[in-house]
A and B are shown apart, each in its own frame.
Chain A
Amino acid sequence: AQSVTQPDIHITVSEGASLELRCNYSYGATPYLFWYVQSPGQGLQLLLKYFSGDTLVQGIKGFEAEFKRSQSSFNLRKPSVHWSDAAEYFCAVINQAGTALIFGKGTTLSVSS
């Protein structure tokens, strides 16, 4: 069965420092992968997605992610974190039927000044 693992429950980063959030997936074929961000009390906003092609994908708000098939990973990165980036981040993969997103448990990002 497909699954997504986000190993880090909570990460604290200093403002201006770089960020990497880890995501590992379990999926038999080429996965469709997503990163979403959720601010407190809000819905989910799509940051970026990978369907095929270039394994380094660019998203909104200066985020990027790299798909590594050999490591079954899709890690999210940002070179310089801003205080407004503090939020919950979710990695997701589409199920085999192509209908449902399967989410990880999320990583909470705190930004210190």
Chain B
Amino acid sequence: DAGVTQSPTHLIKTRGQQVTLRCSPKSGHDTVSWYQQALGQGPQFIFQYYEEEERQRGNFPDRFSGHQFPNYSSELNVNALLLGDSALYLCASSNSGGPPNEQFFGPGTRLTVL
């Protein structure tokens, strides 16, 4: 049983560019959440997707957008990249019918903005 997978592992972009990160949830999970983890900090919630809709959003600008596909996989898009967007981006999946928000995390995508 594969866990949460994310691609790519690492990514280098320059300021102003756009980036797309991908996530496949754990088998049986239908909800995907995205987190940003800056160096030396705890993860911060970006948004959560369920039934292909954004269910809740954290304190992130509209430059951050997402999508969930019918197979429950998800994408995180960031436009007009800033240096401060450099971080580890974590995807977490959960089962809407399972224990409250027991989320399983992927290994993350390390984004570096130059």
Contacts and interface: CB of A to CB of B under 8 A. Distances in A.
B45 A43 contact: no
A43 B105 contact: yes
B107 A100 contact: no
B4 A43 contact: yes
A56 interface: no
Contact of A42 (B44, B55, B107): B107
A42 B6 CA distance: 12
Contacts of A44: 43, 90, 92, 105
B58 interface: yes
A32 B100 contact: yes
Chain B interface residue number, banded: 20 to 34
A90 B33 CA distance: 17
Interface string B91-114: 010000001111111111010000
B45 A101 contact: yes
Contact of B101 (A4, A36, A90, A99): A99
Contacts, number: 63
Contact of A46 (B42, B104, B106): B104
B71 interface: no
Given A43-B90, A43-B106, A99-B56, A32 B101 contact: yes
Contacts of B103: 46, 101
Contacts of B101: 32, 94, 98-101
Nearest to B3: A43
Nearest to A108: B40
Contact of A45 (B44, B55, B105): B105
Interface string A9-26: 000000000000000000
Interface of B: 4, 33, 35, 40-45, 48, 55-56, 58, 90, 92, 99-108, 110
7 contacts: A32-B101, A42-B108, A90-B42, A90-B43, A95-B45, A99-B56, A100-B101
